[in-house]
Amino acid sequence: MDIYQNEKSKLESAKSGIEAFISDIDEYARNHYKNSNIKVYEGKQGYKLFMDSRLKVKDKVLYEIGNRKFVQEFVPKGKEYDSYIADYISRRVKLGISLKYMTDNSEAIDKFDTTSSNNLKEVRALKGNYKFSTLISFFDSNVSFHTKLDNRLLRVVIEDKFITNMVKSMYLMIWENAEIIY
C-alpha cells in the first residue's frame, strides 16, 4: 500500500506541476498578447502617431467605417488641421495607399471626405437609417476602435490577423450594399 501511496503522491505532484506550468503559459500569453498586440493612442499627438502608422500599410488599402464627427470633435479645426490632413493625404497618395470610407447618411462630409480618384479615396454611405456613434479603422492585421474616456479621444488598436479578417469580411459585405453618394 505504501508503494501505491508513494506513486499516487508523485503523480499528484507531477499533475500539480503541469497545471502550474500551463497556468504560467496562459498568463504569459495573456500578458504578452496584451503588451505587444494592443496599443492605445490618446489625444492630438496620438491622433498623428496613429495616422502616420497607417502609412506603413502593406496591403495598400485602408478601411474605415463610422461617423467621422466623433473623431473630429477632438481634433482642432482650422489651418493646423487642414494643413496636417492635406499633408497626410499627399503622403498617402504618393505611397499608393487607397482609402475606402463608409459612413451613415447623417454625416455632413467635409472637403476631405469625398470620393476622389486623385486622392485614391472612395466614400460610400449606407442605405437606410443606420447611425454610427464612433469609428472603426483597419488595415493589414490591425483594427482600431475609437472611443471616448473622460472626454478624451482614445484609439484602441488590436493587432490580430483573425480579428482584422473578420472585421474586413463584415465590412466588405456591407460595402457592396452601400451607395457611392459623395
Kindly provide the residue ranges of all beta strands, DSSP E only, lying in 67-151, ordered along the sequence: 98-103, 121-125, 135-139, 142-149
Is 99 among the domain residues?
yes
- CATH number, domain containing residue 64: 3.30.870.10
pLDDT score at 163: 92
- Which stretches of the chain score pLDDT less than 70? 1, 4, 6-8, 10-11, 13-35, 68, 71, 74-77, 106-113, 181-182
Is 24 among the domain residues?
no
pLDDT score at 69: 73
* Number of neighbours of residue 176 by Cβ within 10 angstroms: 8
Which residue has 500569453 as its cell numbers? 29
Is 102 among the domain residues?
yes
What's the whole-model pTM score? 0.76
pLDDT score at 117: 86
pLDDT score at 24: 62
pLDDT score at 81: 76
How many domains, in total, are found in the chain? 1
pLDDT score at 4: 65
pLDDT score at 167: 94
Which structural domain, as residue segments, surrounds residue 50?
38-180
pLDDT score at 36: 77
Is 164 among the domain residues?
yes
Is 114 among the domain residues?
yes
Is 19 among the domain residues?
no
How deeply is 138 buried, as exposed, middle or buried, from its count of CB atoms within 10 A (0-12, 13-18, 19+)? buried
pLDDT score at 47: 84
Is 27 among the domain residues?
no
Is 13 among the domain residues?
no
* Phi, psi angles (nearest 5°) of residue 138: -150, 155
* Number of neighbours of residue 26 by Cβ within 10 angstroms: 10
pLDDT score at 151: 80
